[in-house]
Structure 1
Amino acid sequence: MKNNALIIFGGTGDLAYRKLFPALYDLYIFDKLEKNFYIIGIGRRDYTNEDYRSIIKDWVKNFSRRAYDEEKFEKFCLSIFYYKLHFMELEEYKNLYNYFNEMNLSNNLIYYYAVSPEFFEHITDGLAKHSDILKESKIIVEKPFGKDLESAQRLNLIFKKYLDYKNIYYIDHYLGKEMLLNIMTIRFFNTMFNGVWNNEFIDNVQINVFESIGVETRGGYYDKSGAIADMLQNHIFQILSIVAMNEPDTFSSSDIKDAQIDIFKKLRKINSKDIDDYMVLGQYDGYTKEKNVNPNSKTETYVAMKIFIDNERWKDVPFYVRTGKKLHSREMSIIIQFKPTTHTSKMLAQNYGNGDLQQIAENNILEIKIQPEEGINLRFNIKKPGTSDDIDVANLNYCQSCDAQNSINSPWSYERLLEACMNSNRTLFSRWEQIELSWKYMNEVMDNYRKYSNKLYVYEQGSKGPAQAEKIIGKDGRKWI
């Protein structure tokens, strides 16, 4: 009987150690790996199988969601192997193919590209050159998929040359996060939200992905990508499309992706000369002194944008998105700001200078927290107890991650995504059209930005980003929550 396997290119990298192996260990603990399933890490270091397993052990201890069990880990280790390969040397792939034969591997393999995008083309050519093993196999491709539209299209053509489309899995680990998956349930299975998820009731939507850390050891990679390719074009645009999409005909993978793609098609073009009113780029102070970063780098570590969707549901509703490194906090959240009631609006018109009244108008908020805390917070107005008619604010909180049982039972992103790929479930993976449309939009935006602005604002570490970003949302009389 042939053995199935997951082949990890970049098997000695941070992603493999920190995310993939702990996720695979959890799948093993929950008996979700086949009995004849191998895991082969491929890297350039001189490791034996024993060396490799010993290194993995410490990472699994620290990052698995299940308590470490020595006996179970030793059994898990029996399925882990290491193979040394120089990715750029095409002739070495012939020996890799022979190794697969020695391991009695089937042609139904999963190749995980846990490497920099610059290796994608070479690995694919190497695998395809010496055998037909790609024809029945799957590949999982990590973001960023290309650094712009042209590079993304070139990579896609290479993949299509050797693989069936259904076997290409463009991974975005944010799509495996519990609360992000919960957005569709919140929207489509609650009348109180489903009926008001439109421009008649929603004033604006904010999507924030803040990081308190810098580039750390990823300076060489990050300096070639920046915040737009690393976060905005993939993670944030995926979140935006899930928040904004119309209700799909069914909740099949195909219908959900169609609904998301329709949003990308409706993104409003930005008038070239008004680009500074819609986008601000920044770079944290000290970035150019980071390891492996060009001392003269103009790479952005922060981006804020105002985006409009030209369809009936979202006509003239701004979507504000922000992401950056070395900011004041680590958090990821989606904020739905509802419009003030007619009565509140009339009062505001008569007493616009009343700060309390302005706050009352902004108190209707649904916040979906994705990390580090998972849950939702609904904020609304309520009368203060007593004889006065003063208005107070109330918060209804649901913290999913606060429940220890939920934390144990809820799979982490990579665990969920690896299992989905093994089961040929594409729901949690991006479709090529999504990648292409988002890059087309961002290419045009960046061409305009370079031509009509090209500003890069330096911001202090630990701040909320460049002050100029506040002007984007400030023009609409709103403030960041």
Structure 2
Amino acid sequence: MTADKISTLLLFGATGDLAHRMLLPSLYGLHADGLLPENFRVVCTARSELDDGQFRASAVDALKQYVPHNFYDPRTALVFSRRLTYVALDATNTEGFKALASKVDPKDGLAIFLSTAPSLFKPTIDGLDSAGLTGPRVRLALEKPLGSDLSSSREINDAVAAAFPEQRTFRIDHYLGKETVQNLLALRFANSTFEPLWNSAHIDHVQITVAETVGLEDRGGYYDSAGALRDMVQNHMLQLVALVAMEPPADFDATSVRDEKVKVFRSLRPIRSDDVADHVVTGQYGSGAVGGEPVKGYVEELGKESATETFVALKAHVDNWRWAGVPFYLRTGKRMADRKTEIYIQFKCVPHSIFAARGARTQPNKLIISIQPEENIRLLVMAKTPGLDREGIRLREVPLDVGMANAFADARRRIAYERLLLDLMDGDPTLFVRRDEVEAQWQWIDQVRAAWTESGLTPKPYGAGSWGPSAAIALTERDGVHWHD
């Protein structure tokens, strides 16, 4: 990359959960591996009144808790903490940005990471601009949610664009930093085996599941205003759809990759009110048991009545030459039976089985790309069961596994944000989301929400610890498809 190097990272929301669980441990990992410049500093800010020593102590405590035990080193953590300085700031008060500006010099290269509520994006950008912290050597990273619909997303993007041109704006979807998600591109475009089969002539359907076992945790206020469709489908799941469905880009660079993703979003078939009954299922968890422990239902957990969906299943179509007629089944929910994120691709059956007359049954090949909690790529193929075959030939489905932990045992498993923070510092936007991507995603999601509102769709109850409402099973089974649980 020829972009200017960054000497300072300015982290907003530095006392928040994301900073403690992900951002500080990611920066620690880059520091421990010698990937941060010697003079690199992290200026941290939030509302809390803390001095440098207090914040550094809280940062070290977070590292002890969230960095893997076999990677955490007390001395390394102490040295890393010396890179951190802290400035208390109320982002709604423009005057406070003057003190912040005294701690950083944007001429030396500055990256700003907003890990704050979207309502603070505009006042923060206004404050940064008033303090001279939006110059040509300053980059801005934005954490989701980027709006609640197309209109509010445009408002945020307009506020950002007033101070930061698109080439200096880095919108984060942390799924794009996950190794297995990036390996999906390698699987498709670095091998001659799969890409010739990656189309409607050979693929029967695609399933994408993002299942969580947790409930609201401490996100009740935000989640109840968002729901599963806007919290998960609009960003993470549609990005996974794009990586599965995109055409081969001309090059692995930001423009080529993101151009192809936008084409996928613009090819998503709109879901109209007449389609909702056959294409959309929403649910809300009630009480039940997760991991053998009893848990409250959503309304009990929230403390008030609510019609917000905590589960959504969709049948989507990408209407282009490659994917015509191939359904994409999407499913996400809270308080599910298991925690997993996976892409499941089922190929079509062989057109004629030469073994059928000998009593053998064939099954379609399946490719399963597990993203979390374990990273794994599994191809299920048919093989002959050993034997003399006097009573007929027996075929059995066997897995070919590429466990990432085993295949790359010599490589440390990294947090997705490590890659994204390093790319931000290097000025490489390939794994970040462009404005037209975000707005194309919102346009489709808004159509879905408008359709289910017009049709009167309401969330169906499901027990915590299950795989969602029974209607989600019917969504696929009417097509002869079973969810991969």
Normalising by structure 1, what TM-score?
0.92
Q: Are residue 289 (structure 1) and residue 300 (structure 2) matched?
A: yes
Q: CA offsets per residue over residues 13-34 of structure 1, 9 Å max, x none?
A: 0100110011101111111112
Q: Letter of the aligned partner of 1:145 in structure 2?
A: L
Match of 2:459 in 1: 456
Distance 1:346 1:340 in 2: 13
Alignment of 1:6-405 (within 5 A): 6-65=9-68, 67-97=71-101, 99-100=102-103, 106=107, 108-131=109-132, 133-285=134-286, 286-290=297-301, 293=302, 295-344=304-353, 360-361=362-363, 363-386=364-387, 387=389, 388-402=392-406, 405=409
- Aligned 8 A contact 2:213 2:335 in 1: yes
Query: In structure 1, the residue corresponding to 2:219 is in which secondary structure?
Result: helix
Indicate how the Cα distance of structure 1 residues 134 and 14 shifts in structure 2: closer, same or farther if over 3 A, else same: farther
Name structure 2 gaps, 5 residues minimum. 287-296
* 8 Å contact kept, 2:42–2:83: yes
Residues 294, 107 of structure 1: alpha-carbon distance in 2 compared, 3 angstrom cutoff: farther
Work out the CA distance in 1 between the residues paired with 2:272 and 2:16: 42
The range that moved more, 457-466 or 124-133, is 124-133
SS of equivalent residue, structure 2 residue 24 = helix
Task: Tell me if structure 2 keeps the 8 A contact 1:374–1:401.
Answer: yes
Q: What residue identity is the alignment partner of 1:431? A: R
The 8 Å contact of residues 233 and 438 in structure 1, kept in 2 or not, is answered as yes
Partner AA of 1:314 in structure 2: W
Distance 1:393 1:133, change over 3 A: closer
Give the CA deviation at 1:8: 1.2
Which residue identity lines up with residue 52 of structure 2 in the other structure? N
Moved more, 271-280 or 164-173: 271-280
Q: Describe the SS at the equivalent of 1:39.
A: strand
Q: How much does 1:372 deviate?
A: 1.0
SS state at 2:11 partner: strand
Please say if residues 6 and 111 of structure 2, whose CA atoms lie closer than 8 Å, have aligned partners that are also in contact.
no
Tell me if the contact between 2:355 and 2:393 (Cα under 8 Å) persists in the aligned partners: no
Q: Distance in 2 between matches of 1:68 and 1:373?
A: 21
Which amino acid is the alignment partner of residue 270 of structure 1? I
Aligned-partner residue type, residue 20 of structure 1: L
Aligned mates of 1:478, 1:14 — CA distance in 2: 39
Contact 2:106–2:138 (8 Å) recurs in 1: no
Superposition deviation, residue 64 in structure 1: 2.6
Q: Which runs of 4+ in 1 moved over 4 A?
A: 344-347
Structure 2: how far apart are the matches of 1:62 and 1:146? 31
1:3 to 1:337, Cα distance in 2 relative to 1, 3 A: closer
AA in 2 matched with 1:369 = S
Measured in 2, the distance between the counterparts of 1:477 and 1:336 equals: 15
State how far apart, in whole Å, the 2-side matches of 1:379 and 1:163 are: 47
Distance 1:107 1:229, change over 3 A: farther
Change (3 A) 1:345 1:460: farther
Structure 1 Cα separation of the partners of residues 421 and 23 of structure 2: 8
1:439 matches 2:442:
yes
Cα distance in 1 for partners of 2:467, 2:315 equals 17
1:404 Cα deviation after fit: 7.3
Cα distance in 1 for partners of 2:284, 2:431 equals: 32
Contact 1:276 1:453 in 2 (8 A): no
1:62 to partner: Cα distance: 3.0
Q: What amino acid is the match of 1:184?
A: L
Contact 2:212 2:340 in 1 (8 A): yes
118-127 or 307-316, larger mean C-alpha shift: 118-127
Answer whether contact 1:143 1:230 (CA < 8 A) is retained: no
Match of 1:420 in 2: 423
Confirm or deny: 8 A CA contact 2:369 2:378 kept in the other structure: yes
Aligned-partner Cα distance in 2 for 1:14–1:134? 29
Q: Is the 8 A contact 1:135 1:164 kept in 2?
A: no
CA RMSD of aligned residues (A): 2.2
- Matched with 2:291 is none
> Residue 405 of structure 1 aligns to a residue in which SS?
coil
CA contact (8 A) 2:211 2:341 kept: yes
Report the CA distance shift for 1:94/1:326 in structure 2 as closer, same or farther (over 3 A): same
Decide which moves more: 108-117 or 307-316: 108-117
Contact 1:18 1:59 in 2 (8 A): yes
1:99-133 C-alpha deviation (Å, 9 max, x unpaired): 33xx5564631111111212112211221234353
Which runs of no fewer than 5 residues in structure 1 stay unpaired? Answer: none
Q: Distance in 2 between matches of 1:428 and 1:230?
A: 20
User: Which stretch shows the higher mean deviation, 63-72 or 141-150?
Assistant: 63-72
**How far off its partner does 1:336 sit?**
0.7
1:31-63: per-residue Cα shift (whole Å, max 9, x none)? Answer: 111222211221111211111111111221232
For 2:80, what is the secondary structure of its paired residue? Answer: helix
SS at structure 2 position matched to 1:174: helix
1:254-287 alpha-carbon deviations (Å, 9 max, x no partner): 1111111111111112232121211111111111
Amino acid at match of 1:343: H
For residues 115 and 397 of structure 2, what CA distance do their matches in structure 1 show? 46
CA deviations on 1:283-334 (whole Å, 9 max, x unpaired) are 11111222xx361222211111111011111001000111111100011111
Same amino acid, percent of matched pairs: 35
> Which digits, 9 at most, give the CA deviation of each residue in 1:331-358, with x for residues without a partner?
11111101111125997xx9xxx9x95x
AA of the residue aligned to 1:60: L
Of the structure 1 ranges 145-154 and 190-199, higher mean CA displacement relative to structure 2 is found in: 190-199
Q: Whole-Å Cα distance in 1 between the matches of residues 404 and 16 of structure 2? A: 31
Could you tell me whether the CA contact under 8 Å between 2:107 and 2:137 is conserved in 1?
A: no
Change (3 A) 1:185 1:270: same
Normalising by structure 2, we get a TM-score of 0.91
Greater displacement, 81-90 / 130-139: 130-139
